[in-house]
Amino acid sequence: MDTSVPRYDRFKWPKAVPNMSPEQSRIADEFMKYWHKVLPHRFGVIEKFNQLYPLRHLPIADRWRTLELGAGIGGHLEFEALDRQDYHCIELRESMAQEIRRRYPSVTVVTGDCQQRIPYGSAFFDRVVIIHVLEHLPDLPAAMGEVERVLKPGGILAVVLPCDPGLAYEIARKISAEPLFRARYKLPYRWLIRREHINSPAEIIHVIKDKFEIFDTSYFPVPVPLVNLNLCIGLTARKLERNSANVMMTRTATRQIILPSPNTANAAKAVWTGEGFVVGTATERILSYSVRESGWDDGIARFHRQETASDHFIEIASRAHAMKEVKRSIVQTPSVIMDIGCAAGHFLRELLQQLPEHVIIGSDYTLDTLQEVASNIPSVPLLRFDLSQCPLPDDFADIVVLLNVLEHIEDEEGAVAHLFRILRPGGIAIIEVPAKAALFDIFDRVLMHFRRYEMRRLTRLLRKAGFTIERRSHLGFFVFPGFYFSKRLNQLRHPARPDVDEMRIVSRMISTTRSSSLMRYVMAAESALREHVYLPVGVRCLVTCRK
């Protein structure tokens, strides 16, 4: 048997792969099927990333069509919500295709080569999933051309690929697939893998970028963009539109904002013009709806804006996490992204700077807060409303961000119900609230918090409203011991007393922890860790959920 190791020219296709003998083909097919069965059981951590990464970005729709290329024996299907989509698979090997049909009768399975014409019409699918397939294809550009053809404009492409060739991957192979192959067939392994893995990560990413816009990249297990340190890379891209000259274009944020008038007696709609809302013959910079009396006033709002100053290391980490979740959640351009409780507008400004192609909207409870934001950020639509009696129409937004908002709302169930209502089907809510109910202290009283949260209570509240929890964790894991001690000390030193200026005490506490370069590095390390493990405690609860 020929066990020589072939070499290939980089960035040139189609690649000439040496033909296998019938015996080699039998071994390759048999081992591939065997490996698909072994991988989930023996190497579950890697397989978890392989299967869960494509679920990070799903179409915003009640139902959609998905195509999976190279589906193997259907290992990924158990992770998909098959009741929400029409799922189709293409698999090269008939024996594997039959296994998928046996296990998943509702899935449409086609036996074929994705480098040839895919037997579906143009713009047929909302989403294409490709897990550890592109590295195998001699004519990679042809396959990606077919993917581009069958995917709708704005459709999602989710890809997982191995970091091969790469140092970490080579070491992992020496203790995983290679010894299994040698023990099973008494043959060297390298002749097979070099006939199978013929495209490098750099080549694959090059071809994807030529046809799609990559908007999310994740390296595993080390969240650093170095192939030699990692085993796998997850990529999510969207198909862009092309103009008459076949040049790819990114759609600009042209979705019109039309809302009900704040004056219930006025039947006219409020239409955003880019500078203000036109309501009948009047133009209003801020669309202000009625709000319930809550005791929250402009003075407390100004103090709260001080508390969320842009240079505090916790606030920097908070906004960085929210931005990562927003970018991870975008599946169409333009998307309507709302910052509810925008306060001084720090996150609002970052959204406008980093996502200019999307429709960004800010809202808050107090008019004074919004007037300050309007003077600093003149181009953003601003709404004043009370989330517990939200006036926005159903299915209005694609993504909603609430950073430290729910704890200020007495009727949290009503607020969450409205949040669910105003999101489009498949829409995402990114929520952050203060953690640990037992640590309620002077700080919470001054900021008019009704409560602090336990993660279990928060997720139960969201599920009751109809949300599906996508991700959850905590912010401030590494600083939690000091935070816990500080809060307990506050409870002892500053019990509730009507004759004490609590606002001044809290202001002094905040000023001592304003900015720290060291803590920014600590929070960055925590963010990297949070990508891979659940952080069970922290200063704040973090939840991303889907309607």
Percent of the chain with pLDDT over 70: 90
pLDDT-based confidence at 405, cuts 50/70/90?
A: very high
| CB-CB contact of 91 with 14 (8 Å) | no
- What one-character DSSP code corresponds to residue 333? S
In this prediction, residues 141-157 reach a mean pLDDT of 93
- Pairing mode of beta strands 540-546, 468-475: antiparallel
pLDDT single digits (tens) 177-224: 888 888 888 888 888 888 888 999 999 999 999 889 888 899 999 988
- What one-character DSSP code corresponds to residue 435? B
pLDDT single digits (tens) 2-43: 667 678 888 899 998 888 888 888 888 888 777 767 766 666
What is the predicted pLDDT for the residue at 228? 94
What is the predicted pLDDT for the residue at 202? 93
Question: 71: closest CA among 94, 45, 42, 40?
Answer: 94
CATH architecture of 295-546: 3-Layer(aba) Sandwich (3.40)
pLDDT-based confidence at 255, cuts 50/70/90?
A: low
3-state SS, 348-413, equals HHHHHHHCCCCEEEEEECCHHHHHHHHHHCCCCCEEECCHHHCCCCCCCEEEEEEECCHHHCCCHH
CA separation for the pair 355, 442 (Å, rounded): 37
Q: Is the pLDDT of residue 412 over 60?
A: yes
| CB-CB contact of 259 with 393 (8 Å) | yes
pTM above 0.85, yes or no: no
Question: What phi, psi does 6 have (nearest 5°)?
Answer: -75, 160
- Mean pLDDT in the chain? 88
Q: Which CATH class is domain 22-249?
A: alpha beta
- Distance between alpha carbon 322 and the CA centroid of its chain, in Å? 10
Q: Is the pLDDT of residue 298 over 70?
A: no
Least confident of 160-164, 370-374, 473-477, 504-508: 504-508
**Are 22-249 and 295-546 in the same CATH fold?**
yes
pLDDT-based confidence at 247, cuts 50/70/90?
A: very low
Q: Domain map of the chain by residue range?
A: 22-249, 295-546
Residue 414's region, left for phi above 0, alpha for psi from -120 to 50, else beta, is alpha
pLDDT single digits (tens) 47-94: 889 999 999 888 877 799 999 999 988 989 999 999 999 999 999 989
Residue 194's region, left for phi above 0, alpha for psi from -120 to 50, else beta, is alpha
What is the predicted pLDDT for the residue at 245? 38
CA separation for the pair 432, 325 (Å, rounded): 12
pLDDT single digits (tens) 508-541: 776 665 556 788 889 989 999 998 889 999 999 9
What is the predicted pLDDT for the residue at 85? 94
pLDDT-based confidence at 252, cuts 50/70/90?
A: very low
CA separation for the pair 109, 127 (Å, rounded): 16
Find where tokens 């915003």 sit: 60
| CB-CB contact of 33 with 96 (8 Å) | yes
| Distance in Å from the first CA to the final CA of the chain | 56
Report how far apart, in Å, the C-alpha atoms of 493 and of each of 69, 441, 486, 500, 509 are: 62, 10, 10, 12, 13
